[in-house]
Amino acid sequence: MYGRELADVYEMVYRSRGKSWADEAERVTAEIRSRRPGARSLLDVACGTGAHLEAFRGLFAHTEGLELSDEMRALAERRLPGVPVRPGDMRDFALSGRFDAVVCLFCSIGYLETVADMRAAVRTMAAHLVPGGVLVVEPWWFPERFLEGYVAGDLARGEGRTVARVSHSTRQGRRTRMEVRFLVGEATGIREFTEIDLLTLFTREEYLAAFEDAGCPAEFLDDGLTGRGLFVGVRGAG
């Protein structure tokens, strides 16, 4: 997942849906500053190509990113010279600094396989907050909201190419198996590739318990950014 072929067309596809990383960053920043008005530093965990991080850079005095995928991280580094974008797994990374805010957006946490993995990630992210710092996590779907057999399709044009994306989702135990096929047409010809995404259907209660046990009690905002809601927690003084 998130290899070179996907990194190459990732933003183009989501822009065709009307996704605005800048608008989402402003919404998240408003939630952060409503809880910590003087927030000046932010860490974007699973920052991908750096699209959100680019917007956060204009909203915070200091920003950093963390990304596991080499291909995605390379794009973020090229996009954001001077902004540290470090390799790391959200479950166990260890940075020297602490931040006023840590965010993990666009359902990235759903790629973790078990509740223990998710709890480790929340605990690790919370540990990188200063006391009173804010943790924002966008979840994948809750089990009761998942639609078995859901099919989605996108057609994006521009940048000298046309990209078609079709996905089909099924449930396998506690996980979503999403098969995504891409067809990319450009001057050199037509190519296709397939991504298989596995995302875990953690419950709302499991997320809230993870935040609570990490010393960062949270509330759930149902409207969120992309229809899946947002968890927003504040780290205690302990």
Say whether both 188 and 114 belong to one domain: no
Average pLDDT over residues 206-221: 98
Residues 66 and 109 in one domain: yes
Which pLDDT does position 233 carry in this prediction? Answer: 98
* pLDDT tens digits, 48-102: 999 999 999 999 999 999 999 999 999 999 999 999 999 999 999 999 999 999 9
Provide the CB-side half-sphere exposure for 57 (13 A, CA): 16
In the predicted structure, residue 143 carries a pLDDT above the cut 70: yes
Give the pTM: 0.96
Instruction: Give backbone dihedrals phi and psi of 134, rounded to 5 degrees, phi first.
Output: -115, 130
Please give the sequence-ordered ranges of beta strands (E in DSSP) within 105-188, or none if there are none.
129-137, 151-158, 161-172, 175-186
Joined together, the tokens standing for residue 125 give 């992210």
Q: How much is the average pLDDT of 216-235?
A: 96
Q: Do 22 and 47 belong together in one domain? A: yes
Instruction: Name the residue with higher pLDDT: 2 or 187.
Output: 187
Residue ranges of the alpha helices (H) in the chain? 4-16, 21-35, 51-57, 70-79, 115-127, 204-213
Q: How many domains does the chain have?
A: 2
pLDDT digits (tens, 9 = 90+) for 176-194: 999 999 999 999 999 999 9
* Domain span including residue 133: 4-142+202-234
Residues 47 and 193: beta-carbon distance below 8 Å: no
| Same domain? 53 vs 167 | no
Whether 31 and 79 share a structural domain = yes
Of 52, 32, 9, 45, nearest in space to 134 by CA: 32
**One domain, residues 116 and 51:** yes
Whether the per-residue pLDDT at 2 is higher than 70: the answer is no
